[in-house]
Chain A
C-alpha cells in the first residue's frame, strides 16, 4: 500500500497567543503547550519553551532527542495512508543529564556546520523533572515531553495542503530484471540501560530482526530512546527522515531495485549478537538481495555487531557497504574501530568523532550549560574562560551520524 508524506512548509516559528499555522508562520502558544504537557506527561516540575532559529547566536546544551512534528491524516497503520509533517521545524527536548551522552546544538558559527538541526527552526523544551523521581523516570519524563510536544504541534498540519507530497511505494515500480536488488539494514542500538530504541512502541531488544517497508521508517515507526554519544546518536528526527532510505528511493527503478528494510538490533552479549546477525542476514537473503547498505548507531560495542553482519552477508554472497564513524584519537593516529573483519572492504567513513572543535561564545544558551564538561567528548576544561566551548565532535548532535546525513568524511593524510 502506498504511503504519502505531505511536507507542510514552515518558514518561521515563533511563540504567540495561539497555536496555528498562518501564511507559513507557525505560532505556538507556550502556555497552552505547557498545560498540554503537564496533562499528558506525569512528573514535570517545570518546563520552559524557547524558539531557536538558524543563524542565531544560540547554543542548546544537553539535548536528548529531536522530533519532527507530524500528524497521521489517513490510514491507521505506520507506513500506510498519509501523514503530514511540518517541514523545517523540530522539537528539541533537553534537560538535566542522567548519563553523559546528551548533545550540543549550535545555531550558528563553526558548530552549526556539524549538526543538521542548525538548519531547522527549533522549539526547545527545557524540562525539569520532579526531583523525587529516580534517574530513569526523569529521563522518561523529558523524552515523553518531547514526543508529546511534537504531536501537539503536528496537529496544525491537519487542514493544510502540503507544499510537497513524497509518495513512498517502491513496490509499485516495475523494476527491470537486470537491476540489482538492494536491502537496507538499519541497526538499532538495543543494549538496555539508556541504550534502547522503540519500534512501534516496543523495545528494540524484542522482536528484531524483522523486515519492514521503507515507509515504516519515514512514518515514524522507530522512536529514539537511547543515550549514546551525541555525534552518532540517531534521534527520532533521523529515523523519520532516514537518509539511506531516501538515497535508495531516489535510485529505485533506475539503478537499483529497493527491496525493503531489515531492522535489526545491537544487543550486549556475544551469543545474542551472533544470533541477531545471523537472523538479519537470513532475512536479507530471503528478500533476494544482491547487496545491502548497513547503517549503525553508536560505536565501540556495536562495531562488533556490524562486523558480524558484514561477515554473514558477504558469506551469503550479498555485497555489503556499511557507514561508520571513526574514533581515531584527536590526532587521528589511532585505529578507528573496535572490531574488524576482512570482508568489510567497503566502508563509508562519516568522520573522526575525536577531532576537536572550538565553539566561540554565543549570546544565548539554553539548557544546563554547567553540565557540558561531563558530556561524552567533553573534558574538565571544556568551558573556556571566554564563554566558548572546546569539545570533540562527539559532543555535537548528529555530527558523525551513521545514517549518512552529513557530508563529513575522513581520510588518511
Chain B
C-alpha cells in the first residue's frame, strides 16, 4: 500500500486547542498528530496523515512573522532529521476572516517553502489582510468568512495541494485560488471578435460583463527640476532606442529586452554607420543605421560640450530596447542604470526613445 500523504498542518492557538485571546502570545510548538481541523482533514481524506501540527499564537506570529517562521522551520527541520522522514506538503489554516491568523498563515507558508523547500498553501477569505499581503507569493485558497465554511475550505485546500504536488498549474476559476497577479494565456470558447460583440451587447443592455483585462493605474513621474548650471554638469545619454556598437556585442533582443548595456563614448566625436547600429525591432532601422546619432545624439552633445554649454558628456552611455519590454523589467533597468550614473557623478541624463 502506498504511504499516506504527510501533511504539516499550521493552526493558531485557538484551533490548536490552547485557548482564545489569552493564549495569543504562545510561541510556536509542534504537536504530534492532528488537532482540531486536522482531524476533520484526516476524516475527509483517508490517504492523508497529519504528520505534525504546528501551533502558534496569533500575536506572536503576526507581530514577528519572520522570527515565528524561522523558529517553525528550525523545529520542522529537527523533526525531519530525527524521524528520517520528509513531509510532503504544508497546509495553513483555514484562517477564514481572522486577520492576524491569515497574516501568520501567509508568512509561515512562505518561510517553509523558501527555507525547507516544502510546498505550502494557505486558506483564508479573500478579504483577509493576509490574502492581500501574501497572495502574490503564496498560494492562497479562498474560503468562507467564518468557520461555517470549514469543511469546504479543507476540501478545496487539499485539492489545490494535491495539484501543487503534481506540478499542475492552479487556476482561480477552477481551483478557487486567489489570483496572484500573473497573466496566463488560456483558450476561450469563442473568438476574440465574437467575445467583443457579446461584451458590447451586454454593455449596451446594461447587463453585467467582465472585462478581460483590468487596466492598472499608471505611475505619474514628476519631471525633475532644471539644472542650476548645465555648463558645469556631467550629462549622460541613455536610450531605449537600441543603439549598440556594430554587431550588437551583448545581443540585446529586438523586443522584450532582458538586459541593458553600457558602452564607451571616449574618443568618439559622433556615431557612424561603421561604428554603431540599432538592435531595436519596433521601428524601421534603416535611418537609425544610416546615422545612429539620430537616436543617440552624440554628435550634438559634442557640439554643446565644445561650446561650453554643458560641462561634459559622460564617457559611457546606457542602452536597452524598449519594445514589448515589460514594465517590471524596465523599472529594474532604470534603478540599476540610475545607481551607476549616480556613482559615476553624473548630474543629468538625456533619455532618448523611439
Contacts and interface: CB of A to CB of B under 8 A. Distances in A.
Interface of A: 98-101, 134-136, 180, 182, 191-195, 227, 229, 243-244, 246-248, 251, 255-256, 290-293, 295, 299-300, 319-324, 326-337, 339-342, 344-355, 374-380, 392-394, 401-413
B281 A100 contact: yes
A134 B290 CA distance: 12
Nearest to A380: B251
Given A332-B182, A333-B181, A340-B216, A244 B193 contact: yes
B329 interface: yes
Contact of A346 (B187, B209, B217, B253): B209
Q: Chain B binding site: helix, strand, loop or mixed by DSSP?
A: loop
Contact of A412 (B182, B281, B286): B182
Contacts of B170: 413
Residue from A180, A229, A335 having most chain B Cβ neighbours under 10 A: A335
Interface string B163-192: 000000111110001011111111111111
A295 to B, nearest CB: 8
A290 B193 contact: no
A329 B187 contact: no
A323 B212 CA distance: 10
A407 B191 contact: yes
13 contacts: A193-B287, A243-B191, A246-B193, A290-B204, A293-B196, A300-B324, A328-B182, A337-B215, A346-B209, A346-B211, A355-B184, A375-B254, A410-B186
B188 A227 contact: no
Contacts, number: 249
A191 to B, nearest CB: 8
B234 interface: no
A382 to B, nearest CB: 9
Interface residues of B, number: 59
A342 B214 CA distance: 10
Given A247-B197, A348-B212, A353-B324, A392 B256 contact: yes
A321 B256 contact: no
B127 to A, nearest CB: 17
A66 to B, nearest CB: 18
B285 interface: yes
B194 interface: yes
Given A374-B254, A405-B191, A407-B187, A321 B199 contact: yes
A378 B184 contact: no
A375 B323 CA distance: 12
B81 to A, nearest CB: 35
A107 B340 CA distance: 47
B282 A412 contact: no
B201 interface: yes
B192 A405 contact: yes
Residue from B216, B254, B323 having most chain A Cβ neighbours under 10 A: B254
Given A331-B182, A413-B170, A291 B254 contact: no
Given A291-B200, A405-B193, A333 B182 contact: yes
A411 B192 contact: no
A292 B328 CA distance: 32
Contact of B199 (A246, A348, A394): A348
A319 B287 CA distance: 41
Nearest to B288: A193
A379 B253 contact: yes
